[in-house]
Amino acid sequence: MTRPLRTDPRSDPESVVVGLSGGVDSAVAALLLKQQGYRVQALFMKNWEEDDLDGQCAAADDLADAEDTCAALDVPLARVNFAAEYWDRVFIHFLAEHRAGRTPNPDVLCNQEIKFRAFLEHALALGGERIATGHYARTVRRGAQYRLLKGRDPDKDQSYFLYTLGQNELSRSLFPLGEFSKPAVRRLAIAAGLRVHAKKDSTGICFIGERPFRAFLERYLPPQPGEIRDTEGCVLGTHQGLMFYTLGQRKGLGIGGRRDASSSPWFVVEKDLESNALIVAQGNKNPRLYRRALRATGLSWVAGHAPDRNWECTAKVRYRQTDQACRVLCTTEDACQVVFAEPQRAVTPGQSIVFYRGDECLGGGVIARSFRDPQ
């Protein structure tokens, strides 16, 4: 990673506040910045008020790991509670989307509203000049323009979750892990004697963690049972609420084998919101699982504007998907239509579509509708 050039003549080290989660990625981000001569301080964010769902306080364990890392690196650690901001800016939207039968991606909104808004504002108030996180992504400056690039390791690239970042956020952000693979990051942690070198990656809902998803969601959204139907309208069973299912889902349908059907597994192919019905079909390659086009809204562009009104690029409709060739037509400043060169499996309303040209992340939006026929 190339250290960014200052725009002023001062020679003192630049101050960077690292968002330290208690995991190995943010720990090594702090380590690398120290080695590169930055003046590093760390901030531990608590973004969810613990409950007794699993009988343990994960945030306390993460804080202890963050404190251990800071002691090993001789980095000062501050703490802040963003639970109210997370609830208001992320979780309420998360619930509203599920209530409407869509499948939201909380990681995208969490990055936009918490890590690169609330955290950035707080870091600047602490005297930091920039922030840094453990994301696997890269930035490059070309003239006055900052560009967001994929992480060098395709297995860990996280640019998909960062597409809402604009010029202000990127000009103040560093991603020290962008050139590294996860095994290399763990090796650096071992060499530095960081106890978190073997800590497993966090999964689950952003800042809430791993929980039995249905039981967790039922605490906020009451079940709304309805029929499970095949594509011919035959009733196969009962679902507990459309919010508990996503397109392409196979497990947890509870319909099992049927005498009048083949042994092929069933998949969710549609949610009929009007009749509160879950539509399923058999076979992983069933045509009802695939779409050629979609409409996206809530567009966000890294450069501050779309590359053009009608243009070609590649896109992902889910994290870790291979880039897919497509044509984009911007119908308004906040909406676009996308037609893919090949049909895409399980295009899910509420998820994000993110656009690329090579390694450069251009921006993206939220999938509003999908279509089998591109016309």
Could you give the CA distance from residue 332 to residue 283 in angstroms, rounded to a whole number?
Answer: 37
Residue type for position 125: A
Burial of 354 (0-12, 13-18, 19+ CB in 10 A): buried
Question: Which H or E run contains 171?
Answer: helix 167-171
Could you give the CA distance from residue 262 to residue 165 in angstroms, rounded to a whole number?
Answer: 47
Phi, psi angle pair for 54, to nearest 5°: -115, 5
Question: Span 70-96, mean pLDDT?
Answer: 96
Residue 291: pLDDT above 50?
A: yes
Tell me the CA distances in angstroms from 311 to 82, 314, 318, 333, 362, one per residue in order. Answer: 39, 10, 21, 15, 12
pLDDT by residue (tens digit) across 177-216?
Answer: 999 999 999 999 999 999 999 998 876 566 565 566 778 8
- Provide, rounded to the nearest whole percent, the portion of the chain with pLDDT above 90: 82
Q: Can you give the pTM of this predicted structure?
A: 0.91
Question: What residues contact residue 340 under an 8 Å CB cut-off, 6+ apart?
Answer: 291, 292, 293, 315, 324, 325, 326, 374
Does the active-site annotation cover 110?
A: yes
Does the active-site annotation cover 206?
A: yes
Domains of the chain, each with CATH number or no CATH: 15-213 (3.40.50.620), 223-284 (2.30.30.280), 290-371 (2.40.30.10)
Query: Residue 85: which of 46, 55, 38 has the closest Cα?
Result: 46
223 or 170, which is more confident?
170
Question: Span 336-340, mean pLDDT?
Answer: 98
**pLDDT the model gives residue 329:** 98
pLDDT by residue (tens digit) across 14-51?
Answer: 999 999 999 999 999 999 999 999 999 999 999 888 65
Residue 2: pLDDT above 60?
A: no
- Provide, rounded to the nearest whole percent, the portion of the chain with pLDDT above 70: 91
Residue 339: pLDDT above 50?
A: yes
- The catalytic position among 70, 206, 336, 361 is 206
- The catalytic position among 70, 110, 313, 326 is 110
3-class secondary structure, 40? strand
